[in-house]
Amino acid sequence: MVDTAVRADARNHLDEELVALVAAVYASHEGLAERALAFERAAAEAGDERNALLGRLVRADIDNRNGRWAEGLQTAYAMLHEGADRVVAAHAHAVLAGGLWRLGDNAEAVEHAFQADRLLTEDDPLCLRVDHALILAIQVNDQRMGRVSEAEYRWAQELAERLGEPDMIVGNLNNWAWGLLQNGDIPAAMALVHRMFAVSTSSGRLLNTNCVDTIARILVADGQTARAAEILETALVEAPSTDSDGIPACLIAMAEIKRGAGDVPAAIELLERCRKTTISNRLAEMDAHALRLLADCHAETGDFESAYREMVEFQDAWTRRRSEQSEALTLVTQARFAVDEARRNSEHFRKLAERDPLTGMWNRRRCDAHLAARLEARSGPFSVAILDLDHFKQVNDTYSHAVGDDVLRQVAALLRQVAEPVGRSGRHGGEEFVVYLDADRDTSARLCERLRLAIAAYDWSSLAPGMHVTTSIGVTELRPEDDSRTVLARADSHLYTAKNAGRNRVIAD
332: confidence class by pLDDT, cuts 50, 70, 90: low
* The pLDDT value given to residue 5: 45
Task: Give the residue-averaged pLDDT of 24-50.
Answer: 91
Task: Give the residue-averaged pLDDT of 233-254.
Answer: 87
Across 464-505, the runs of DSSP E, i.e. the strands, are: 471-477
CB-facing half-sphere around the CA of 450: CA atoms within 13 A = 13
* The pLDDT value given to residue 6: 45
Rounded Cα distance, 93 and 77, in Å: 8
- The CA distances from residue 289 to 55, 68, 265, 467, in Å, are 34, 20, 17, 81
- The answer for 28, left when phi > 0, alpha when psi is -120 to 50, beta otherwise, is beta
Q: What is the CA radius of gyration of the chain?
A: 33
Q: Residue 231 above 80 pLDDT?
A: yes
- The CA distances from residue 485 to 31, 482, 488, 490, in Å, are 60, 8, 5, 9
Give me the phi and psi of 30, to 5 degrees please: -65, 120
Highest mean pLDDT pick, 197-201, 293-297, 310-314: 197-201
Task: Give the residue-averaged pLDDT of 293-311.
Answer: 80
- The CA distances from residue 375 to 337, 370, 394, 435, 497, in Å, are 39, 9, 37, 15, 25
Q: Residue 12 above 80 pLDDT?
A: no
| Per-residue pLDDT tens digits for 443-457 | 999 999 999 999 999
| Per-residue pLDDT tens digits for 163-173 | 999 999 999 99
Highest mean pLDDT pick, 232-246, 283-297, 479-493: 479-493
CB contact at 8 A, 366 and 426:
yes
Q: Residue 294 above 90 pLDDT?
A: no
Q: pTM score, two decimals? A: 0.61
**Residue 175 one-letter amino acid:** N
| Per-residue pLDDT tens digits for 402-454 | 999 999 999 999 998 888 778 899 998 889 999 999 999 999 999 999 999 99
174 contact partners, CB below 8 Å, separation of at least 6: 196, 210, 211, 214
Rounded Cα distance, 36 and 19, in Å: 11
CB contact at 8 A, 99 and 329:
no
Rounded Cα distance, 185 and 187, in Å: 6
* The pLDDT value given to residue 2: 40
Query: Coil, strand, or helix at residue 414?
Result: helix
Pairing status of strand 471-477 against strand 506-508: parallel
Task: Give the residue-averaged pLDDT of 255-264.
Answer: 93
| Per-residue pLDDT tens digits for 91-146 | 999 999 998 888 777 778 888 998 899 899 998 999 999 999 999 998 888 755 55
Rounded Cα distance, 143 and 138, in Å: 9
Of 383 and 142, more confident? 383
348: confidence class by pLDDT, cuts 50, 70, 90: low
**Residue 331 one-letter amino acid:** L
* The pLDDT value given to residue 290: 85
| Per-residue pLDDT tens digits for 461-504 | 999 999 999 999 999 999 999 999 999 999 999 999 999 999 99
Task: Give the residue-averaged pLDDT of 243-248.
Answer: 84
* The pLDDT value given to residue 4: 45
Rounded Cα distance, 29 and 19, in Å: 15
Right CATH for 1-143 from 1.10.3470, 2.40.50, 2.60.40, 1.25.40 = 1.25.40
* The pLDDT value given to residue 186: 96
For the chain, the structural domain boundaries read 1-143, 364-508
The partner residues of 355 in beta bridges, in order of sequence, read 362
Q: Residue 200 above 90 pLDDT?
A: yes
Q: Residue 203 above 80 pLDDT?
A: yes
Domain 364-508 superfamily per CATH: Reverse transcriptase/Diguanylate cyclase domain (3.30.70.270)
Helix (H) or strand (E) holding 423: strand 423-429
